[in-house]
Amino acid sequence: MAGLAQAGEALTASAAVSPGPRRLARRLWRQPSGRAGVIILAVMVLAGLASLAGLAPDAPDAQNPAATLRGPSLAHLFGTDQFGRDVLSRVMAGTVLSLQTALLAVAICAVIGTLGGVAAGYFGGAISWAVTSLADLIFAVPSVLLALAIVSGLGPGWQNTAIAVGISYTPIFIRVVRGPVLTIRQADYVKAARVLGFSRSRILFRHVLPGVGGILAVQVTLALGWAVLIEASLDFLGLGPPPPAATLGLMVSEGTNIAGIAWWNLAFPAVAVVLLVLGFTLTGDGLRDALDPSSSDR
Amino acid sequence: MVSPLLEIRDLSVGLRTRSGVTPLVRGVSLEVRPGERVGLVGESGSGKSLTLLAAMGLLASPVVVTGGSVMLAGTELVGAPDKVLRGFRGSQVAMIYQDPMTSLDPVQRVGAQIAEGLRAHGASRRDASERTLAVLAEVQLPGRLARAYPHELSGGMRQRVMIAAALAGNPRLLLADEPTTALDVTIQRQILALVARLQQARHLAVLWVTHDLGVAAQFVQRLAVMYAGRVVEVGPTAATFAAPQHPYTAALLRAVPSTSGSRSALGQIPGSPPDPARLPPGCSFAPRCRQVLPSCSVTDPVLSARGAEVAAACLVPVPEWQP
Amino acid sequence: MTLALRIAGRLAKAVVTLVGVAVVVFIVLRLLPGNQITSSLGVNAGLLTKAQYADLEHYYGIGKPLTQQFGQWAGDLLHGNLGVSEQSGRSVTSLIGAALPVTLELAIAAMLIGLVLGVGFGALAAAAPGRLADRGARLVALAGLGVPSFVIGSGLVALLASVFHYFPSSEGFASLGSDPWLNIQQIFWPALTLGLGIGAAILRTTRGAMLDVARQGYVRAARGRGLRPALVTVKHVLRNALIPILTMSGIQFGYLLGGTVVVEQIFVLPGLGRLLLMSVTESDYAVAEGVTLVFALGFIVVNLITDLLYAVVDPRLRS
């Protein structure tokens, strides 16, 4: 809540001079948290891209009965699992799955949430009431529950997981976007635009939306981290793509059972999940600080 | 000559940054004798509030005392251990602040906030309670207000509470940081009158910081004028108003609208106070001074006596001034 | 607005939200492919004769208009009848009744751990900002936020089992009444798992709030009256920091409910989370609806309590 108020203030204060993308990127790099986050993300994304390009050491589902449960070695940097599959390749594939699920999920909730938030904030009245009530409703059902229901109803598959995660996060986007929109709507330069007779949609696109851009960037980043977390949890519970899919959540689940004899099956997928979530969270924090240096969290 | 109660000698306060120390108060020397009312006048940013806070040891890093001494009743306060400072705060010297809303804890009752200072100095619960009611009566607030919360009181009432909290411990010196600035004019006068009355009754020494010359004129016996972290003039109020010894003081007086005399345009001081991080060489006021001499931008004038009780830091012997 | 009026308003909103949740849950589960017949009989559903199928349809109320089904279900609900579980044949109410105490105990323990760790270390961090203790605390908090509870939980189970050969969940679950010591052991580790995540968030909030409050004029004024620094910190700084801490605690409780699903699975606790997971994967609709409603109710109740606590903590909010 405090963050929102600060964001609102920062927006009104700097609405006319909101830092452009390049300056923002530079400021982000200067923050220690932002820098760490970006580096971690870069590593993970590269690993994922490498997997997509077929550059992983082995195919993720290539079984090798002769080399089951081998520890980390030169041939298999992260070791092998109980089917002789190379853990490193599976982790890379799992990273791809997590990233694409998170991206789809956040795309869903960002688009719907932003539209909803802007509509609620800008038009007010009945529209605002309807949108916020719907948001509160979705919010009242804890996200894992909602995701559970949707996924078990629509069936397993990464797209369905993404839909479930996306819908549960939408209320947050609505709330986060609505606040600053309300503030900006009262801002002088918007009033000036109204007086000058600019059409509502023009005001919306040219003046209101750019002001919200910074907030959106922060929220999208944080949402991506959260999406990876929930998606991995759902996979862990068996609600994601079924085996032999190489999802990080499944690997952690299976890895826990054999952790006593083959710790690498648990450790490496777990670390991958943590790095993904941390990468997004740190970057999001860094973005928030880069936008509003007076934040009290540092 | 009675020895001074408060003796500030060459006090310097600065802001510690990555690139060094930005001077905010530069070599300020000031005295307050027992029972005396001294004013400290200057624009925002002149360092007057910081001087008071430094005297109480209430500065917070990265603002720190960088030199000088503050003696209260013979004890050195700069660098003194926190225990010593705590002994003085509330019982020997007390402070009242500019904004009564932010100077009172919003979630505690005002009576409790007055009493906690007394209890910190060893009073029993009952004793503290009685003295709280007594001091509330002195500031003309009904005793039942002790159970009120700050947000339930008006601005003037909150300021009275703050004065009560300051005086509850019977200090000998009161430091006042623009306590009337945030109030409207009628309340300002009431508070001023109240403090004047209390000062007389308790023979209290007062150091009153303000940017308002009118307030200073009504209340203080002696005043010091500060500019850009330095004291530029000191003198008895009447004498200073009649014959200012520093061009800055003269300029300030010119800017005060007068109800008598000529209806000329309000005097303005062109330009603005210097950035403490980029002080001009020589006298800090030189860029804005009407009577600037070439040597003013070279040598920084020192506060030197010009008569009994009067001193000024200026190379110009007498500034232009018509009262 | 008086306090009583505000509470009444909140209650009304809570009821409306609950009804809304009920409707949403009902629709979502009814609209999903598959129905009670196929889910309970599985492949054998294809062996039913037409008459048998029609009978079962009538029994389950399938085929009737949705509004009528909802009306029937809502009516039953208000009479305390949440239906019967497919898999076990027991009433949903009794299933929930058995699982609720477990989850309640877990949630309270997790919240306690989170608050103690979060406020404790947050206050320590705020006391010396920028120094080693502060940076260490913030780093640990970051880890607590970034590491998902299923990772912490799995890691903990693996560690306890393989390194310490400690299996508190190998025997059946022990309730608090029957075997307190075993019960505490079985609850402690899952509560710790959840509590670390909660504690991390509360630590950041506490630290930020206390630093903010410490800058306020009234803190300086209290010092100016001669109070000891420790007293100022507790009486003025911490006291005022409680408001944002309370807010964050409420938010964390929301996440807590979802977290129980994962943690109860990992540590094999027979709580509501595990019940929900099983009922959803086995299409046991009645149970799933019932548990979801209970969760939503819990969330709403906690929000109400948080609101009330606000009034206690902040006198500006009373009448």
**Whole-number average pLDDT of chain B:** 88
Place of tokens 């502060």: C134
Give the mean model confidence (pLDDT) for residues B236-258: 84
d(CA B37, CA B31) in angstroms, rounded, equals 11
Residues 138-167 of chain C whose Cβ lies under 8 A from any Cβ of chain A: 142-143, 145-151, 154-155, 157-158, 161-162
d(CA A165, CA B194) in angstroms, rounded, equals 65
Residue B279, pLDDT score = 85
A257-266, B221-230, C1-10, range with the lowest pLDDT: C1-10
Residue C218, pLDDT score = 94
Reported as a single tens digit per residue, the pLDDT across B102-138 is: 999 999 999 999 999 999 998 899 999 999 999 999 9
d(CA C99, CA C301) in angstroms, rounded, equals 18
Q: Model ipTM?
A: 0.86
By the 8 A CB rule, do A6 and A291 touch?
no
Where residue B177 falls (left for φ over 0; alpha for ψ -120 to 50; beta otherwise) is beta
- In total, the C-beta contacts within 8 angstroms joining chain A to chain C are 130
pLDDT exceeds 70 at position C132? yes
Phi, psi of A56 (to 5 degrees): -70, 155
Is A140's CB within 8 Å of C162's CB?
Answer: no
Is A141's CB within 8 Å of C295's CB?
Answer: yes
Residue B254, pLDDT score = 81
In terms of Cβ atoms closer than 10 Å to its own Cβ (0-12, 13-18, 19+), residue C88 is middle
Is C292's CB within 8 Å of A255's CB?
Answer: no
Residue B34, pLDDT score = 92
Query: Which residues of chain B have a Cβ shorter than 8 Å from any chain C Cβ?
Result: 56, 58, 60, 82, 86-91, 94-95, 97, 99, 102-108, 113, 116-117, 120-121, 149, 151, 162, 165, 169
d(CA C32, CA A150) in angstroms, rounded, equals 8
Tell me which of C52 and C242 has the higher pLDDT: C242
Residue A12, pLDDT score = 41
Reported as a single tens digit per residue, the pLDDT across A24-35 is: 777 777 778 788
Tell me which of B28 and C38 has the higher pLDDT: B28
Contacts of A238 in chain C (CB under 8 A): 281
Where residue B108 falls (left for φ over 0; alpha for ψ -120 to 50; beta otherwise) is beta
d(CA B119, CA C251) in angstroms, rounded, equals 38
Selection from A161, A162, A65, A176 nearest residue A114 by Cα: A176
Selection from B14, B8, B123 nearest residue B62 by Cα: B14
Contacts of B113 in chain C (CB under 8 A): 222
CA angle A291, A293, A296 (to 5 degrees): 120
From C40's Cα to the closest Cα of chain A, the distance in A is 15
d(CA A138, CA C257) in angstroms, rounded, equals 15
d(CA A166, CA A110) in angstroms, rounded, equals 8
Phi, psi of B269 (to 5 degrees): -95, 115
Reported as a single tens digit per residue, the pLDDT across C82-101 is: 666 666 677 788 888 889 99
Residue A296, pLDDT score = 40
Query: Which residues of chain A have a Cβ shorter than 8 Å from any chain C Cβ?
Result: 1-2, 133, 136-137, 139-145, 148-150, 152-154, 225, 229, 232-233, 236-239, 249, 252-253, 255-256, 259-260, 263, 266, 270, 273-274, 277-278, 281-282, 296-297
Nearest-by-CA chain C residue for A153: C32
Residue A275, pLDDT score = 93
Give the mean model confidence (pLDDT) for residues B178-183: 84
pLDDT exceeds 80 at position C165? no
For residue B233, what is the enclosing H or E element?
A: strand B230-236
A-contacting chains (≥3 CB pairs under 8 Å):
C
From C33's Cα to the closest Cα of chain A, the distance in A is 7
Q: String of b and e for A92-105 (b: at least 16 CB within 10 Å)?
A: bbbbbbbbbbbebb
d(CA C160, CA C250) in angstroms, rounded, equals 31
Tell me which of B154 and A129 has the higher pLDDT: B154
What is the SS3 assignment for B26? strand
List all residues 6 or more positions away from A261 whose beta carbon is below 8 Å from its beta carbon.
A69
For residue B6, what is the enclosing H or E element?
A: strand B6-17
pLDDT along chain A (298 residues), means of 10: 38 46 75 85 89 80 79 81 85 91 93 86 80 81 72 77 88 83 70 68 65 79 90 87 86 85 87 92 84 51
Does an interface of 3+ CB pairs under 8 Å exist between C and A?
Answer: yes
**Whole-number average pLDDT of chain C:** 81
Local confidence band at C144 (pLDDT 50, 70, 90 cut-offs): confident
